[in-house]
Amino acid sequence: MKRVLSLLVFVLVLNGCDDGNLIQEDINFENITTQSCTTNDIIFKIKEKEALLLEIPATSFVNEPSVVGIPTTIDISSSNRVVYRFYNGVVANNNICETIAPAIPIVTDQWTATAGKIQIFTTAIKTLNTTENSTRITGYNHNIVFKNITFAKSNGTQVYETFPFGDYVTTSNSLPFLFDKTVEKCSSSNLIYNHTSSEALTLNIDPSLIANVATPLNSPRTGVIGTTSNQLTYRLFTGVPLTGDYFCGTTIPATPTINQQWDAVSGVNGVSGIIEVTTTTNGPNAFKHTIVLKKVTLKKGNSDFLLGDNFIYGDLLTTN
């Protein structure tokens, strides 16, 4: 009889432990969309009566693609917190983000991460214009994974070697590209430029490409993007409006301020980064040079995008 009672007690204890383990190990938010608070640095996932919270400075999410195989790595600490909560009712956004959270549902249990690493691997989100075969960056995706994370619980600890949090997306303002296709040239150099009040696309052009001689039909002059000759640069400015006076001086003006600079990737003959110039007469001793950029990639840091198969830079007017 004693043996039977002992066996029953053992089975009950074992079942109780199993039930606890099932609850503890059931942390899966991979298919839940990540949300963020506007009033603090918390990003989170919620489902039914559970919430997974990551409190981390917004500056940790840099709009710059990671180098392949090298994510940003941050220590879990009192400044970079990971918390898993259980509630006694369905949880909503305001339970996470409000300064004074609603009284219900009530947090019934909480696991707090005490050690581990936060890994963030960032990639650019690009939209594709299939007609032009051009791309533009509209945001950045930050894939977050916890490594060797230890949760402190009311009844012990829980450790995960790899625990995927999921994706968090930050937005990026698209570059305007509102050029009017009218190109101008500095008289003292080979710099040509197209600009609006807030942006500029400059090209230090090989002068042979804009010779004052009409090109044969369907036979434009061609060159490739380089790092000195035929160097192409896009700049976005802030501050006072940009004017033509900015470009041709001996020194770069202090204002307006350069907000972003994207440099064209060096081209390959017949493949990419191609400059085509078609020259026609435009009256007595006058010429019009129509400049087209083909398969050009602009790059800033680890970010890049395609201008398109045939980007019309604009028309440059010259005289003999």
Instruction: Please give the share of the chain, as a percent, with pLDDT higher than 90.
Output: 88
Return all residues near 261 (Cβ < 8 A) that are at least 6 apart.
233, 234, 235, 236, 300
Digit-coded pLDDT (tens) for 145-160: 999 999 999 999 999 9
Helices (H) and strands (E) in the chain, counts: 2, 19
Is residue 21's pLDDT more than 70? no
Q: Higher-confidence residue: 20 or 90?
A: 90
Please give the distance of CA 2 from its chain centroid, rounded to a whole number: 68
Is residue 4's pLDDT more than 70? no
Tokens of 29: 């938010």
Q: What is the reported pLDDT for 62?
A: 96
Phi/psi-derived region of residue 163, left when phi > 0, alpha when psi is between -120 and 50, beta in every other case = beta
Q: Higher-confidence residue: 213 or 6?
A: 213
Give the predicted TM-score (pTM) of the model: 0.87
Digit-coded pLDDT (tens) for 233-257: 999 999 999 999 999 999 999 999 9
Is residue 186's pLDDT more than 90? yes
Is residue 11's pLDDT more than 70? no
In whole angstroms, give the CA distance from residue 8 to residue 13: 9
Q: What is the reported pLDDT for 30?
A: 82
Count of other CB atoms within 10 angstroms of residue 67:
10
Residues in the chain: 320
Q: What is the reported pLDDT for 14?
A: 38
| Nearest partner of 87 among 55, 47, 31, judged by Cα | 47
Q: What is the reported pLDDT for 197?
A: 97
- The CA dihedral of 13, 17, 18, 22, to the nearest 10 degrees, is 150
Amino acid letter, 236: L
Digit-coded pLDDT (tens) for 131-141: 999 999 999 99
**Sorting pLDDT into bands at 50, 70 and 90, what band is 25?**
low
Digit-coded pLDDT (tens) for 257-279: 999 999 999 999 999 999 999 99
